[in-house]
Chains A and B, each alone.
Chain A
C-alpha cells in the first residue's frame, strides 16, 4: 500500500501570527515540539508527496461556484494570501504534484464527484501546517479542500466516503503518500469570542476520533455542532475524512485548550493504517 502516513493537526493563523502575543510560552513550545515530531514522523516514512485535507477560508472558492470537494493538480501554488506580517509566514511558492494529483483525482471520482483545480492559492489553513511540516517547502503538496465555510456543507457521511476514496486512490498509485487533515475542533474564530473553546466537546470528539469509531464520528448534526462547537466546529470534516482514509486507531500526541490566544484547541495526532486488502 502506498499511503504511508495519516495524521491531523490544527491550522489557526494565530499559531504563527500571534506566537509573540502568547503568554503561556511553555505550552506553546510543547505544541510546536509536537508539530516538529509530526514533521519528523512524516519525513521518516519517505513520503514523496503530502496530501493536505484542508478547510480553506475563501482563498479560492466562493459562493459563486462552491465545490463540496476539490483536489489540487497544479504544478505550483502561491501562499499565503494573507498579509505575511500578520501571519508571520513569508509569501512563497510551494511545489505541486500534477501527475500524481491527476491520477488520485481520477480514482477518487470513481465514487465521489470531486472538483479539481490547477490554480490554487494557499491561505493560513494550509500555510500554517506547511510552515511546521515542510518548512523548506520541498515536498510536493496535493491540496484538498472540503467546504466547511459556505453552507450548505457536505454531510459528514460524505466526508467519510471522500476519505475512503482518497485512501483507495493513494493505494492505487506506487508513490509513497502522506496525508494530514487540518481543521479545528470547537472554536469561534474571527468573532469577538475568539479564544472560546469547549474543551469537553473537543475531548469527546477526540475520543471518537482516536477510536476511529465511524458511527460515533458521524453522529453529529450541524445545528448541534454550531451550538456547542461554533462555526469552527464544521471543520471536523477534515479530521473525519482522514480518519476514514487511515482506517486504524489514532494516537493523540498533543491536545490543549490552554492556548486560547491561538483561537483553537491545539491538536496533533496520527493514525495507524489498516490494510485495505
Chain B
C-alpha cells in the first residue's frame, strides 16, 4: 500500500504543467518515478477514477485529476459510485461515501 506516493503522483500532476506534458508524452516514465504498487500503476494508466477513489485518494486531488482527464461532472460522480460497486467501500482517508450512493442534487437525479 503506497497511498502516499499515489497521491503524490496526482498532486504533482495536478499542479505542474511540466508533469502534465510528461503524462501525455510518456505516462509509463512518469509512473516509474513513484513508488507505486501494480494496482496503483494500472489505475493511473487506465484513469480508473473508481479504483483511485476506493484506494483512498483525497477527494480534492481526485476531483482535480478527473477535471484534468476531461471527465464531465456527473460522470465523475458516477465513476466513484461504480468504483464502490466494483471494489467495495473506500479504504482510507476522509472522503468516504456516507450514504447509499444517491444523488443529492436535482440536476444529478435527472442524469
Contacts and interface: CB of A to CB of B under 8 A. Distances in A.
B41 interface: no
Nearest to A227: B98
Interface stretch (B21-29, B30-38, B103-111): B103-111
A189 B58 CA distance: 11
Contacts of B91: none
A161 interface: no
A191 B80 CA distance: 7
Contacts of B96: 191
Contact of A192 (B7, B8, B97): B97
Interface residues of B, number: 34
A195 B106 CA distance: 9
B95 interface: yes
Contacts of B104: 193-197, 260
A58 B98 contact: no
Nearest to B70: A83
Interface of B: 4, 7-8, 11, 14-15, 58-64, 67-68, 70, 73, 77, 80-81, 84, 94-99, 101, 103-108
Interface of A: 13-14, 17-18, 21-23, 57-60, 62-64, 81-83, 86-87, 121, 123, 149-151, 188-197, 226, 230-231, 260-261
